[in-house]
Amino acid sequence: MHLTVLGCYAATPRTLTNPTSQVLEINNHIILIDCGEGTQVELRRHKIKFSRINHIFISHLHGDHFFGLPGFISTMRLLGREKELHVYGPKGIKEAITLLLKLGDSWTNYPLLFHELSSKESELVFEDEKISVTTIPLDHRIYTNGYLFREKVGKRKLNIEAAEKYGIDKAYYQNIKNGKDVTLDNGEIIGNNELTFDPPKPKSYAFCSDTIYDESLAAKIKDVDVLYHESTFLESEVELATKTKHATALQAAKVAKDANVKTLVLGHYSTRYKSIELFKEEASKIFPNVLLANDGKTFDF
């Protein structure tokens, strides 16, 4: 699992900081999560091919999370995209985007498919043989979802050394990979477990964009490997955080601790603070494994 943070600062684009957008590479999928202004430029800077993105997940319709989307959709048309593009986001996103395309008489010549969300309960919104994506309802000033991305268990890996030891013909290798046992010429049955290695443990990533501190969130993301949780403010501004339905670094750490996640990634920083290290210091008081997102930073999990 590989994460590229394209932008992770609150509110407005600035000279050196971008609003929220990130690219998650998970089990051969390249997924765009939120699409603030500047997303296209950052994708180019990181040499991520636009054409490899087939799924975009938007948390909510505040500008710092989706004002880059019309531009991105429009550029895909100019680049001659033919493949489907799937956009997941709150109800209203289709109307917002299609109005712009209509006024500019610039309809896409590729299938643009919207999956509008309005449920306040967690729901499965995408699934194939490699991953699943479920929503994480959040409590913000407008309808907002985080997303939980989970890898599926891969196939067992062939243990060639073991197969050779039993003199098994290569023609059976595919059957072994598919989970079959092998019967040798002398009638002895070799169990599949002896001929294969366990597949790697599937990983999971929870993206929780703008939200007030919510104690009940931990239960929805229990034991995930990586939690990205907003931390717009520090505890010194906790009242402002509550008023604007945002969270502090300490509150993000509480969620991480209660959910028993392995790693917490902080982001969506207010630019009022001198250094983002302050967020790590605060969160680390109660949760040990804290990483700081920053624009252009990449993580391997």
Question: Does 300 participate in catalysis according to the annotation?
Answer: no
| CA 52 – CA 37 distance, rounded (Å) | 20
Could you give the C-alpha distances from 237 to 217, 232, 243, 247, 268, in angstroms and in order?
21, 9, 10, 10, 15
Coil, strand or helix at 254: helix
Question: Which member of 210, 247, 283, 293 binds Zn ion (CB under 5 A)?
Answer: 210
The response to whether 181 counts as a known ligand-binding position is: no
62 sits near Zn ion (criterion: CB under 5 A): yes
Q: Which of 64, 105, 181, 295 is catalytic?
A: 64
Instruction: State the number of binding residues for Zn ion (CB under 5 A).
Output: 3
245 sits near Zn ion (criterion: CB under 5 A): no
Question: Which member of 37, 64, 151, 295 binds Zn ion (CB under 5 A)?
Answer: 64
The response to whether 105 counts as a known ligand-binding position is: no
The response to whether 223 counts as a known ligand-binding position is: no
- How many beta carbons lie within 10 A of that of residue 109, not counting itself? 11
- From 34-42, 85-93, 202-210, 284-292, span contacting Zn ion (CB under 5 A): 202-210
Burial 27-39 (b: 16+ CB within 10 A, else e): bebbbbbbbbbbb
- From 28-36, 50-58, 93-101, 208-216, span contacting Zn ion (CB under 5 A): 208-216
| CA 147 – CA 168 distance, rounded (Å) | 45
The response to whether 246 counts as a known ligand-binding position is: no
77 and 110 in contact (C-beta within 8 Å)? yes
Coil, strand or helix at 63: helix
We find the least distance from the C-beta atom of residue 36 to Zn ion, in angstroms, to be 8
37 sits near Zn ion (criterion: CB under 5 A): no
- What residues make contact with Zn ion under the rule CB under 5 A? 62, 64, 210
Catalytic residues: 64
